[in-house]
Amino acid sequence: MNIDIQLFTPAKVGNLELPNRIVMAPMTRNRTGDRGIPDELNAEYYAQRSTAGLIITEGTYPHPTSRAYTGQPGIYTDEQVAGWRLVTNAVHQAGGRIFLQIHHAGRISHPSLLPDGILPVAPSAVRPKGEVHIPSGKDKYPTPRALELKEIPQVVEMFRNATERAVEAGFDGVELHGANGYLPHSFLSSLTNLRTDEYGGSVENRSRFFLEVVKAMVSVRGGQYVGVKVSPWKFLPHDIEETDTQVIYPYLAQQLSDLDLAYLHIQLPMVTFGNQPNAPFDLAKLIRPHFKGVMMVDGSLDKEAAIARLEAGDADLVAFGRAFLANPDLPQRLRENAALNEVDYNTFYTPGANGYTDYPMLQSLLTLARKE
Ligand SMILES: Cc1cc2nc3c(=O)[nH]c(=O)nc-3n(C[C@H](O)[C@H](O)[C@H](O)COP(=O)(O)O)c2cc1C
């Protein structure tokens, strides 16, 4: 099979025509200051990567009580929306398409990251193992506060507001961060959700918050404006595991199918990130038959693995995280079988252009080589 046909066949996602099936996975980079306002540097970073079929932004918090990291961007103030406008304009001018990822930290946060030092919120008061990065260094995760039943509609509303703000900021769509142990994911797992009301217990009840959030997002511009990301099974860095992955995700996928979404995005377990071993079953194959619509996968894919996923029909789109971070022109490099830049793990979350907008493009490398 010709690789160009597999990776470079256009695809329809929502109301967009993607020129290829290579997606930039959402990646937190913590370069938007303490007030979470994107600027020209962030616009340059995303515009450099606009040959992706689709860009998904870093996780962005919808409300001050939902922040996970210092330097993380937000999407609730006028200034943040104006900052994101710079980004969407730059990407569109460069010919790209971009979705905003909406991210509520839930229990993966800390009072020093939240207004008035409040506790993070979660379905239940279950403390994550491990340590959190805070402005003064590192600390243990605190025990989160269980959301009261009457608060849940207000939290759902945060996702609707953020979607409206994303429309204002010129995004082509939004993605729910339903993965990696953050708030929506922590409702799904019976180990982090111990509730006895209609949001806990059965598969239907544990899926309720997640589905209410997606429906709130869909209410703004329809299903075609909304993608959803999940990371089934376990994500050890954020101390989340599931006991019934093979039951709850088929149910969730069936329910999401009815909403006519832009796509369902599955983060496969990564052997090399967070020391997570491979799942005992193939998560893409588990979910695929239950979701009627576009499916995207990522997680330690290289070119061969990405093509294999497309050829097997496990997914319609393939996303790359670290490879896109380090190679702004990744589609060209994949097409030409060119070598990839090495990923610098030390600059993932550091401020400034270093390790952000200064990864060389193939073209500049060739020009350099010709001069030498
Ligand atoms: C630096 C970094 C930051 C990330 N931040 C996010 C994020 O904000 N939201 C998210 O859904 N996934 C996040 N991820 C996970 C990626 O979207 C992707 O699922 C993962 O890196 C697997 O792809 P890869 O093996 O090609 O890197 C992050 C990954 C990296 C490397």
Per-residue pLDDT reduced to its tens digit, 226-237: 999 999 998 988
Centre of ligand 1 to C-alpha 288, Å, is 21
Point out the ligand 1 atom lying closest to the alpha carbon of residue 101: 9
Cβ burial, residue 360 (10 Å; 0-12/13-18/19+):
middle
Nearest CA to ligand 1 atom 27: 321
Residue 144 exposure: Cα atoms within 13 Å on the Cβ side: 29
Q: In this structure, what DSSP letter does residue 64 have?
A: G
Residue with token string 């019976």: 190
Q: Give pTM, 2 decimals.
A: 0.97
Provide the pLDDT confidence category of residue 278 given band limits of 50, 70 and 90.
Answer: confident
Distance from Cα 275 to the centre of ligand 1, integer Å: 14
Compute, in angstroms, the gap from residue 321 CA to the centroid of ligand 1: 5
Where in the chain are the domains?
Answer: 3-371
Q: What average pLDDT does the segment 265-294 reach?
A: 84
- Say yes or no to pLDDT of 274 above 60: no
Q: How many Å apart are CA 238 and CA 276, to the nearest integer?
A: 11
Atom of ligand 1 nearest to the CA of 267: 19
Q: Whose CA is nearest to atom 24 of ligand 1?
A: 321
Answer whether residue 18 shows pLDDT above 80: yes
* Separation of alpha carbons 106 and 95, rounded Å: 35
Does position 275 have pLDDT exceeding 70, yes or no? Answer: no
Catalytic residue among 46, 141, 182, 249: 182
Q: Which amino acid is at 139?
A: D
CATH code of domain 3-371: 3.20.20.70
DSSP state of 61: B
Residues in contact with ligand 1 by the CB-under-6-Å rule are 25-28, 58-59, 101, 177, 179, 229, 267, 270, 298-301, 320-323, 348
**For a substitution probing ligand 1, which of 28, 264, 330 has the most ligand atoms within 8 Å of its CB?**
28
Atom 31 of ligand 1: nearest residue by CA position: 322
Question: Ligand 1, closest atom to CA 229?
Answer: 11
Q: Give yes or no: 182 in active site.
A: yes
**Length reported for the chain:** 372
Beta-bridge partner residues of 177: 229
- Tell me the pLDDT tens digit for each residue of 137-186: 999 999 999 999 999 999 999 999 999 999 999 999 999 999 999 999 99
Residues 97-131, buried b or exposed e (16+ Cβ, 10 A)? bbbbbbbbbbbbbbeebbeeeebbbbbbebebeee
Does residue 5 surpass a pLDDT of 90? no
Which tens digits make up the pLDDT trace of 50-95?
A: 999 999 999 999 999 999 999 999 999 999 999 999 999 999 999 9
For residue 253, give the amino acid letter: A
279 against 364, higher pLDDT: 279
